[in-house]
Structure 1
Amino acid sequence: MPTYGFAIAIVAIVVCAYGHDCTKYNLTPSDQSLIDMMKHYLHTSRKADCPLTPIQQDIGVTYVRWGKKTCPGNTDIVYSGQTGGNYYTNNGGGSNWLCLPNDPENGNVSSNSNDGLYGAEYQINSSNNPSGFPTNLYNKEVPCSVCRRKGKFSVLVIAGKKSCYKGWKSEYSGFLISEYKGHTNADFICMDGEAEQLDNRSSNEEGALLYPVRAKCGSLRCPPYKDNTVVLCTVCTK
């Protein structure tokens, strides 16, 4: 092999130069540099030949795809479910959105009054519908899926972009969504631009409510942002 032959040649040079007293010889900086070069060459040339360990093969990242029951191609689905959150008028309780599995393991019936987990509904109609977003989702419940992308190390949600920066791959893109500004506080999430409904029920059951977010100039500098525009988003992996 070329790599093996190269390494033998370097060793031969070192041995010829120092003979049997090599262990007693004080190495010069150039000598040490030659040895370090050999170590680096052997390490990098053999790296591709080394099989992946089980831990390396299992490397991956997870993210939630809001508004969809499935995951993008070449991605494993961990589970699909329903988006859940706090009731829109509650002053206390959780403020984050949850992707609740469709096969829950339910606890015991309780009489406590802290009913703080509800399903989420789209509150998107003709008056606030982002361009390109489905128009038939008003008052429909919101699905979600937890996806896993193998071989990636990082997940990044970017608000204000529909594409990823160089070196990153877009898993999906869409629109920034949250609760209405007069309701209880809730996280921003990136809703898939091709969102769908959870099921065929169409009754208005309230709960956690999802609205598109628009940008407002002032402390938010315009340009580069633009006043009263819908905020785009994308989920990127690397």
Structure 2
Amino acid sequence: MKFFNYTVVFCLIFLNKAKGDGDDAEVADNVENYIWNFFKGDAGDYEPINNCKGEFMTCETRNASVVYTHWGRSDCTSDTSDVVYTGYIAGGHHSHSGAGTNPLCLPETPEYNNGLIASGIYRSLIYGSELQTSSYPPWAGLHDKDPLCAVCLAQGRSTSLMIPAKRTCPQGWTKEYEGLLMGSYYKETAGHEYLCVDLNPEVRPGSSPNHDGFLIHNAVGVCGSSLACPPYVHNAELSCVVCTW
């Protein structure tokens, strides 16, 4: 019996020294109460305390992180994410049938492997991007300008999601930014993926000349097809939101 008493005393002293402050102290107190009750014979089932905050947060995701691209801006939402790098939106040429379909966020300071640079015609060609917004009055002044981008790291979250035609995130998710859904012109030879471009886009200074390349157009809904109208509205610019969880 003395052995058990000494064991209890040792465990309680150890917990008292180790528990410290804050969440760890709460967990240690919970274990301490369980040890007392265990040796008294009425401990029941141990129920650990989950200190992970947020309705959808778990201990597994508390230390996780996820990367997303902030299209149209050179920053990230300061209170939710950190900047990994900033750059320029780029991709394949709108008139090339073999152009890549995914947009890229090219960093501001490229690094080349000089030993592998060679001449040749069989290449995949990457062009800078331009906003094609002359017919959209709020962004008419941004027409033919080159939008920026940023790659962002969201700490404590494990996945990201772009929701078209929404401005808000599902309950429990973190809103990173909202914007306009944008894509390629439907008559262009090369199509590309849709982007959620920030509502307040930044552009590269001095980038007004028309060079074409990777072109970005507003996306609108088309009624009279299989699109549900209402609630969708014909030719209305579609919004978008980027969320993390």
With normalisation by structure 1, the TM-score equals: 0.78
Residues 107-160 of structure 1, C-alpha deviations (whole Å, 9 max, x = no match): 4142224352100001111x234xxx4432111112111011111111010001
Q: Over aligned residue pairs, what C-alpha RMSD do you find?
A: 2.2
Corresponding position: 1:89 with 2:95: yes
Residues 49-71 of structure 1, C-alpha deviations (whole Å, 9 max, x = no match): 9xxxxx97752111111111111
3-state SS of the aligned residue for 1:80? strand
Say which of 133, 137, 148 aligns to 1:124.
Answer: 133
Say which of 142, 150, 159 aligns to 2:155.
Answer: 150
CA distance in 2 between counterparts of 1:85 and 1:100 reads: 9
3-state SS of the aligned residue for 1:136? helix
Residues 66-106 of structure 1, C-alpha deviations (whole Å, 9 max, x = no match): 11111111221000001011100111131010001111112
3-state SS of the aligned residue for 2:154? strand
User: In the alignment, is the contact (CA less than 8 A) between 1:68 and 1:196 conserved in 2?
Assistant: yes
2:140 is aligned to 135
3-state SS of the aligned residue for 2:141? coil
1:193 is aligned to 199
Say which of 199, 203, 210 aligns to 2:209.
Answer: 203
CA distance in 1 between counterparts of 2:141 and 2:157 reads: 35
Say which of 166, 178, 182 aligns to 1:173.
Answer: 178
CA distance in 1 between counterparts of 2:130 and 2:118 reads: 25
2:6 is aligned to none
- Aligned-pair distance for 1:175? 0.3
Say which of 55, 69, 74 aligns to 1:69.
Answer: 74
- Aligned-pair distance for 1:3? 4.5
CA distance in 2 between counterparts of 1:111 and 1:163 reads: 48
The structure-2 alpha-carbon separation of the partners of 1:10 and 1:215, relative to structure 1 and needing over 3 Å to count, comes to same
Corresponding position: 1:226 with 2:216: no
The answer for unaligned runs of 5 or more in structure 1 is 15-33, 50-54
Q: Percent identity?
A: 30
3-state SS of the aligned residue for 1:135? helix
1:12 is aligned to 40
Residues 166-219 of structure 1, C-alpha deviations (whole Å, 9 max, x = no match): 111211101000110111110001000000211213211110101000001221
Runs (4+) of structure 1 exceeding 4 A deviation are 55-58
Higher mean C-alpha deviation, range 134-143 or range 152-161: 134-143
